[in-house]
Amino acid sequence: MKTKAVRIYGKDDLRLEEFELPVINDDEILAHVICDSLCMSSYKAARQGAEHKRIPDDVHLYPTIIGHEFSGEIVEVGRKWSEKFHPGMKFSIQPAINYPSGPVGILSAPGYSYRYTGGDATYIIIPNEVMELNCLLPYTGKGFYPGALAEPLSCVIGAMHANYHIRPGSYVHQMEIVEGGNMALLAGVGPMGLAAINYVINRKDRKPGLLVVTDIDQSRLDRAALLFSPDDAAGKGISLHYLNTRNHEDPVKKMLRVTGGQGFNDVFVFAPVPSVIEQADAILAFDGCLNFFAGPGNPDFTANLNFYNVHYNYTHIVGTSGGNNEDMEEALTLMSEGLDPAGLITHIGGLDAVIDTTKHLPDIPGGKKLMYTGISLPLTAITDFKTLGEKDPLFRNLYQIVRKTKGLWNPEAEEYLLKNAGKI
């Protein structure tokens, strides 16, 4: 079986290549990748090469396949797993497998560490450890792109579950956000912030009563409000407010005023910016929990925190990086039941657009870049479909399809693209 894949050889050395996959062993699975959602973590891996903790030291000799947010369908199942998986089954993968005997030890992950497993490929071989650790997860919903976005959604789910609160005099941490409490998502309308809004509004077991979402880009705030309107949130029992902090001389005072001066029980920071972290600290209520979600690239990154409040007001801080298997399963269940993560997606492309897009990911505006590995297509913004459609019938028809869903990507658009775009 031949595959086409984007492989990493070292720092800024990504190559699109065709090569032969070996015959699978009895404990492996052959799979067809349909799409991969590009992640800033892949950009960091491309920049660092073998210095990245998840990439093997000998990657220059034995390149690995990049891409860790992907979905597809199973083609062939080794004998060991034939009772649990079958050809034609749709899947997603939890990449943080934490397997001690992987290529780089416990930090091994598909999309970084394996020669034959990664999202930016047409066909892959899934190694035994992925199944052993229950990290190959069936997906039964519509389309394939939700399966590719299950991993980023699981990161948001994990963050919500990781927040904690206490009762004075007790040393027992009460895990989770405060039911009916005040929540703020700061710098919260990027791809992960949108995932958080979607989850907070649509989860069934626990919701805040007040949700304030901030940013300094009005166009991004407007898009978020179109996707997740205050009226829709009100129907779920949540008072949702969007706030452009650039427009306020004292955004902390403005945010506190929305809470009636009580402050926020749960605050999530989606940008590694000291001033944003300091805003988050300043709006915490008694026993407020600040979740620093955004991963900084600088190991010396710091910000000021009010330790008087830590001591007397019981404020505390947590940080999360990724979700676990249970979070992935929750994400896939929610999407199978109808939660659509399409609002995260602003661009689509083919396998031949992966290298350039990955290398320039921080400089490309918008949300998630979804790459379909079996087709050839430049990275294309969904908002450009109408203009491109004046000359290209592919985009003209895609524009007509996404118009039905307020300009959002959807399963019908995906199906049309896979049938009509040029093959890689």
Residues 345 and 278 in one domain: no
CATH number, domain containing residue 23: 3.90.180.10
For residue range 244-284, what is the model confidence (pLDDT) as tens digits? 999 888 999 999 999 999 999 999 999 999 999 999 999 99
Residues 102 and 173 in one domain: no
The residue that leads in pLDDT, 97 or 120, is: 120
User: Contacts for 297-305 with beta carbons within 8 Å, 24 or more apart?
Assistant: 297/44, 297/272, 298/272, 301/272, 301/274, 302/274, 303/274, 303/277, 303/278, 304/274, 304/278, 305/277, 305/278, 305/281
Residues 91 and 197 in one domain: no
Residues 193 and 69 in one domain: no
Structural domain includes residue 416: no
Residues 191 and 214 in one domain: yes
Structural domain includes residue 334: no
Residues 290 and 164 in one domain: yes
Structural domain includes residue 414: no
CATH number, domain containing residue 273: 3.40.50.720
Mean pLDDT of 141-150: 94
Total structural domains within the chain: 2
Mean pLDDT of 378-400: 98
Residues 178 and 313 in one domain: yes
Say how far residue 184 (Cα) sits from the centre of its chain: 19
Residues 203 and 241 in one domain: yes
Report whether pLDDT(48) > 90. yes
Domain stops at, among 305, 327, 353 = 353
Structural domain includes residue 262: yes
Residues 91 and 17 in one domain: yes
User: Which residues, at least 6 apart from 216, have a Cβ–Cβ distance to it below 8 Å?
Assistant: 187, 244, 245, 246
For residue range 60-84, what is the model confidence (pLDDT) as tens digits? 999 999 999 999 999 999 999 999 9
Report whether pLDDT(297) > 80. no
